[in-house]
Chains A and B, each alone.
Chain A
């Protein structure tokens, strides 16, 4: 049976939601669609709490490996006879996966995938203006990174109820023993890490995003968006115009030259909806736009639009949400 390895980076005792999304997808491919005959292993980089470990085990994994750092996953991913090696898109995987793919003969890598059916992957091209379907037909290993928020998270207990009861899942837990003796690749040295002033949920993982554009006029006005974000449990993003004007940090930029996001809800405040901005958020499930110009292009992509002054609309919206 083909084997699949999912690479999970842990932080603060937990793994990211995007990993539960992938595990949900794999579980339903194995049981419901009965399309894919593969067994899944998971390697956890870093530590998870006992509670998190139990939750992870409900996803029918064969073996859970524990690794201290990403580099020690290397021998497992390269020599473990895996047909698929998968992970959510992240800054570290963007560097790690292509290097792994170079280390394996006949490997293929596909990045930023939004669907996987066991035999094909789909990935957006031209900033989402087309979707490609790529068959996975070769004998070699496939290295695949998945865009967060592409799949829903299963209620796993409900799933087991509907699919033949809670199977006694027999997951082995092992430490990765092979240590990367000598790293085949030259490594750069990290001189210093500059921590963000305020740590925020990563934009590409966020389930709800509130973004502000040029209409925010200054840095201080972003506070209004922070307030809206607080009631919604959202992360704050920005357009390039807002970033270039210094109202928002570069890490907050959504769009072609910023982050690609795909949240359940994207609230665009005073953003016109330029094609380069749409490129970064058009796959959001629901787009909610607030703009004073009834002809702003953002309205043609929005599921719900309010034509009005954002300085008036947002405070009223916050009030209504709190009610």
Chain B
């Protein structure tokens, strides 16, 4: 059984965004790179399946992304227990057109030529928040697809070729649905699915020797397509800074002040902001 896990390297959320002078990209010199948080749930799910099947499934992590300044995420995933890695290299950190990312993943998986039983991914990446790639990859490869799964039921016999997995996902308005997904399939993972493990020290040592296959966009015939995309023409601006608002302190033992404060607050909402 082969389990592919799609991972992305993204700027940590605490990162301060600074633009390059041409306004086409962000300055990456001071960025701390992390594994996209939703992808960690996908890696963990793969590891749990692998643990249950006494290590039998071959877990392949696959990433489309820049090779500079670091490719840590693939080693991190292998330190968590993945067996091998595929890296589709981009020259620099790029907010790629999701259609092209999906094409690149499909092309790389086909070139790698190990048959797909299961593909796992995070539900979205936290830099662009598109939530397109998993759905597109599944549709391109003709796989059944369940998105943003928040729970996974362990069912005897489901974790094998043509097995049927049972997963749950949230719908709008607080309802949820239980889905039966027949392999080969793609699952995209949401928060709450599991608690991702930390890489162990022996894991980190072993990861250094695990195989990592590299492709370029050119190898996959996608170099020109990526350059032609409208996404390659995007320009960035920083949102306008908000002027500091009003801040009032409630005096704990002054009922007159308190009452007056509430009046002013409601007056602000009604007449000034006009939101109620």
Contacts and interface: CB of A to CB of B under 8 A. Distances in A.
Nearest to A312: B250
Interface string A289-323: 00000100001111111111100110011011100
A313 B262 CA distance: 8
A317 B98 CA distance: 46
B265 A137 contact: no
Interface stretch (A50-58, A157-165, A170-178, A180-188): A180-188
A91 interface: yes
Contact of A304 (B102, B170, B246): B246
B172 A265 contact: no
B144 interface: yes
A251 interface: yes
Interface in A239-254: 249-252
B66 interface: no
A34 interface: no
Contacts of B61: none
B191 A300 contact: no
A84 B273 CA distance: 34
B15 interface: yes
Given A194-B177, A249-B174, A265-B276, A134 B135 contact: no
A131 B237 contact: yes
A138 B225 CA distance: 12
A320 B269 CA distance: 12
B237 A130 contact: yes
A251 B150 CA distance: 11
A134 B233 contact: yes
Interface stretch (B77-85, B109-117, B125-133, B204-212): B125-133
Contacts of B168: 194
A125 B261 CA distance: 37
A275 B15 CA distance: 10
B95 A125 contact: yes
Given A125-B128, A188-B180, A133 B235 contact: yes
A307 B98 CA distance: 44
B30 interface: no
Contact of A130 (B130, B238, B262): B238
Interface string A253-271: 0001110100011000000
Contacts of B129: 111-112, 124-125, 127, 260
A126 B127 contact: yes
Contact of B26 (A126, A200, A287, A313): A126
Nearest to B26: A130
B95 A196 contact: no
A251 to B, nearest CB: 4
A257 to B, nearest CB: 5
A193 B233 contact: no
Interface in B136-192: 136, 138-140, 142-148, 150, 166, 168, 170-182, 185, 191-192
B22 interface: no
Interface stretch (A19-27, A35-43, A63-71, A102-110): A102-110
A307 B247 CA distance: 7
A193 B174 CA distance: 11
Interface in B191-246: 191-192, 229-231, 233-239, 242, 244-246
Interface stretch (A75-83, A92-100, A211-219): A92-100
A189 interface: yes
A232 interface: yes
A52 to B, nearest CB: 20
Contact of B172 (A91, A301, A316): A91
A317 B147 contact: no
Interface string A189-200: 111111111111
A191 B166 CA distance: 9
Interface residues of A, number: 88
Contact of B181 (A94, A97, A188, A319): A188
A16 B247 CA distance: 35
A94 B150 contact: no
B13 A319 contact: no
A135 interface: yes
A101 B99 contact: yes
A102 to B, nearest CB: 4
A186 B275 contact: no
Nearest to B126: A256
B19 interface: yes
Contacts of A128: 239
B179 A190 contact: yes
A202 interface: yes
A127 B17 CA distance: 10
Contacts of B95: 125, 132
A17 interface: no
A108 B135 contact: no
Nearest to A278: B13
A265 B273 contact: yes
A305 B244 CA distance: 10
Contacts of A306: 247-248, 250, 261, 265
A301 B237 CA distance: 19
Contact of B191 (A91, A202, A257, A312): A257
A134 B259 contact: no
A107 B99 contact: yes
Closest 7 CB pairs of A and B: A308-B250, A196-B174, A98-B135, A320-B262, A303-B245, A305-B247, A265-B275
8 contacts: A107-B99, A111-B130, A126-B17, A132-B95, A135-B233, A276-B13, A285-B273, A320-B265
